[in-house]
Amino acid sequence: MKLVAGNSNRVIADAIATYLEIPLAKCLVRRFADQEIFVEIQENVRGEDVFVVQSTSYPANDNLMELLILIDALRRASARRITAVLPYFGYARQDRKPSARTPISAKLVANLITHAGADRVLTLDLHAGQIQGFFDIPTDNLFSVPVMSRDIKEHYDLANVMVVSPDVGGVVRARALAKRIDAPLAIVDKRRERPGESEVMNIIGNVAGRDCILFDDIVDSGGTLCNAADALIANGARSVVAYITHGVLSGGAVTRITSSRLKELVITDSIQPTEAVLAASNIRVTSIATLIGEAINRTASEKSVSSLFA
């Protein structure tokens, strides 16, 4: 087995390598003067089971292209099997046509990864489960619920906790967490007027006096989370924290969250946190590397991955 890392998230790649007790394969990824990407695999991978770790986060297009070229280089170096490990799968929010004459970019990206030469895909908390069907190769979608539930049990009194889905679309995800920690569930009913903005309308469920935990897969601008926190506090919640898998946190999101009524935002390292994120007083990063490392280990040894979430 070989583990290859792109440049998007070296922190999690190093942590996965430490868990698996194998070194990262020697690999050169550099750019020409015009930013064209060049890749050279600097050790023999012929006949090897190779796992390429690369989040397609900001800058999404550069990191995606880097992943495709890494896969192509490995295929041409006669790797036996290539698994694209994407802790964060970019373009996942473009999984359908929201209006006329718009693309389904998640399907396009799935096609690119497949045609580049990947034999499998391993990813985490896809924005929409049906994206697995966009790939014509085996795709394992891992869930952060075991990691998040363990962290919640370590930091909060479960007797007064209520899990909250920040929108109707995330109910299944939030219910899975609520079931794990044996907590009740509430839902924020919101109406989105335009992309990147949301207006909270109603809270479905009694949150009065509760310590509310918002649970979702992606936090981008932070507007939805901050609005949901305000609505929960207005409805009598004692405190509001958020557990989000992928901390995209674009634009002024960090500033928005640090000045919000959120007691704490917990994200994973599926996207390498920026200096601003690490310095924020109410943002904490928990590692998902052990979960991904164990999934890689089980994939390489042909063992069950789904049993990780039983």
Q: Write the DSSP symbol of residue 98.
A: S
Residue 143 burial (CB count, 10 A):
19
Strands of 105-149, DSSP E? 120-124, 139-142
Identify the active-site residue in 26, 107, 190, 263.
Answer: 190
Q: Cα 84–170–94 angle (5° rounding)? A: 50
User: CA 66, CA 69: separation in Å to the nearest integer?
Assistant: 5
Residues 63-73: tens digit of each pLDDT = 999 999 999 99
Which residues are within 8 A (CB) of 60 and not within 5 positions of it... i.e. 6 or more apart?
A: 90, 91
Is 94 annotated as a binding-site member?
Answer: yes
Q: What is the pLDDT along the chain (310 residues), one digit of tens a residue?
A: 999 999 999 999 999 999 999 999 999 999 999 999 999 999 999 999 999 999 999 999 999 999 999 999 999 999 999 999 999 999 999 999 989 999 999 999 999 999 999 999 999 999 998 999 999 999 999 999 999 999 999 999 999 999 999 988 899 999 999 999 999 999 998 776 666 565 667 899 999 999 999 999 999 999 889 989 999 999 999 999 999 999 999 999 999 999 999 999 999 999 999 999 999 999 999 999 999 999 999 999 999 999 998 7
Domains in the chain and their CATH numbers?
A: 2-142 (3.40.50.2020), 145-286 (3.40.50.2020)
Contact 64, 56 (CB under 8 A): yes
The β-bridge relationship of strands 264-268 and 283-286 is parallel
Q: To which H or E segment does residue 286 belong?
A: strand 283-286
Q: 34 to each of 8, 31, 37, 154, 248, how far by Cα in Å?
A: 19, 8, 9, 49, 27
Q: What is the pTM of this model?
A: 0.93
Is 272 annotated as a binding-site member?
Answer: no
Is 35 annotated as a binding-site member?
Answer: yes
Is 97 tagged catalytic?
A: no
